[in-house]
Amino acid sequence: MATSNIVPELEVPLSIVEKGWKSSHLTQYQGFWLPIEFLSGVMACRERFEACKDDIMLNTTPKSGTTWLKALTFTISNRTRHDFHNHPLLTTNPHALVPNLKLDQYADDKVPDLTNLPSPRLFCSHFPYELLPTSIIESNCRIIYLCRNPKDAFVSLWHFSNNFLPEDEPPVPIEEAFELFHGGISIFGPFWEHLLGYWKASLERPERVLFMKYEELKEDPTFHLKRLAEFLGFPFSIEEERQGLVEKIERFCSFESLMSLEVNKSGKIGVLGKAMPNKNFFRRGIVGDWKNHLTAEMSEKLDQLSQQKLEAFGLTFKDVGK
Ligand code: A3P
């Protein structure tokens, strides 16, 4: 159910979705659905985050492989600093190594001190392209976007969101979540508009915006790791390739490898003000799990919507099964 409301200190009308996903209340801001507790942080961060030209900004739609992208980008860009036997990823969840833009640290006119981060600075967000901090666009820093086919992204989001419910609360019925997602109401959604913003930017500025798909990364990791390294400005040398480094990073950051680490089996990390077990970021890690959850009608509805919204711009998802 959506209701109209006014948040006095912001003086903007908001629609607050009170039901459905239950895990967080969403509010519509400039066409996108944000958790209400993020709104002032997003607005402040847009104005005050100071990007540098060398920064690398990772952006994703939620549940599209952010954890994987963080692990890969960190490992590729720090490969001369860390060897595999003593690597930070062995004991640290990727979300702790590549921070999200710290929205809570912009409260009361504050700005987080980000000056001591190693270069290149790696950041991550789920911000839609249209809402990215102004300095990210103006600095001309590199932006990497990872997305996923809507059916698997939805199923993954549904599972993940249910983790936020109190233990005595039953999971949100998938039909209820589906109606919201299909209607564009999901965290940082509408899902399709989120994709389109980065897709168009990647066509306009391919040297600064790299657009990647989860399915393609799964299908041919070697090719996409090389593409990623080149885009990052740290291409693999012939010698590194000859030594099998690309395949080594691929295996090191694979779903199976990361999920079996003790830190990702028993550790926790703060998400939306809650201590979230790291294992919640590793569920199945496959393409096509939607077939185990969506009805034929749901699948058809998402296919049609994707066709309507994305295909005209040349954006398609193939091989995700029918
Ligand atoms: P599933 O729920 O379909 O299994 P995010 O990192 O954006 O939160 O996305 C989480 C999704 O990516 C989950 O999908 C998770 O299992 C999958 N995932 C996590 N690590 C991965 C990895 N190293 N390789 C492939 N998929 C991974």
pLDDT tens digits, one per residue of 50-70: 899 999 999 999 999 999 999
Cα–Cα separations (whole angstroms), residue 192 to 148, 248, 309: 11, 34, 7
Q: Ligand 1 mean position to 281 CA, how many Å?
A: 6
DSSP annotation of 100: B
pTM of the shown model: 0.93
SS (H, E, C) 233-291: CCCCCHHHHHCCHHHHHHHHCCHHHHHCCHHHHHCEEEECCEEEEHHHHCCCCCCCHHH
Residues 139, 290: contact at Cβ < 8 Å? no
For ligand 1, the distance from its centroid to the CA atom of residue 185, given in whole angstroms, is 21
- For residue 154, report the distance from its CA to the centre of ligand 1, in Å: 12
**Ligand 1 site, residue 285, Cβ cutoff 6 A:** yes
| Annotated domain spans of the chain | 50-313
Q: What angle do CA 314, 319, 322 make, to 5 degrees?
A: 105
- Does ligand 1 lie within 6 Å of residue 159's CB atom? yes
Half-sphere exposure of 271 (CA within 13 A, CB side): 20
Which pLDDT does position 17 carry in this prediction? 62
Give the pLDDT band (50/70/90) at residue 8.
very low
CATH number of 50-313: 3.40.50.300
Reduce the DSSP state of residue 211 to 3 states and report it: strand
Ligand 1: does its nearest atom lie under 6 Å from the Cβ of 84? no
- Does the beta carbon of 152 sit less than 6 angstroms from any atom of ligand 1? yes
CB-ligand 1 contact for 202 (6 Å cutoff): no
The H-or-E segment that residue 87 falls in is none
* Each residue's pLDDT tens digit, 219-261: 999 999 999 999 999 999 999 999 999 999 999 999 999 999 9
Q: Is the CB of 68 under 6 A from ligand 1?
A: yes
pLDDT at 103 over 80: no
Say whether 224 is catalytic: no
Q: Is the CB of 224 under 6 A from ligand 1?
A: no
The b/e string for 106-120 (b: 16+ C-beta within 10 A; e otherwise) is: beeeeeeebeeeeeb
Probe target for ligand 1 pocket from 23, 58, 68, with the most ligand atoms within 8 Å of CB: 68
Overall average pLDDT of the 89-100 stretch: 94
Best of 161, 255, 291, 294 for a ligand 1 pocket test (most atoms within 8 Å of beta carbon): 255
What is the pLDDT at residue 322?
56
Ligand 1 geometric centre to CA of 69 (Å): 9
Of 82, 87, 126, 224, the active-site residue reads 126
Residue 1 pLDDT = 45
Place of tokens 């969403």: 26
**Interval 191-196 mean pLDDT:** 98
Distance CA(111)–CA(89), nearest Å, equals 28
Q: Give the whole-angstrom CA distance, residue 108 versus residue 184.
A: 32
> Is 289 a pocket residue for ligand 1 (Cβ < 6 Å)?
yes
* pLDDT score of 164 more than 90: no
CB 172 within 8 A of CB 21: yes
**SS3 category, 89:** helix
pLDDT tens-digit map of 255-291 = 999 999 999 999 999 876 678 899 999 999 999 999 9
DSSP state of 118: P
Identify whether the C-beta of residue 182 lies closer than 8 Å to the C-beta of residue 206.
no
Mutate which of 213, 281, 289 to test ligand 1's pocket (most atoms within 8 Å of Cβ)?
281
Please name which of 230, 272, 300, 217 lies closest in space to residue 62, comparing C-alpha atoms: 272
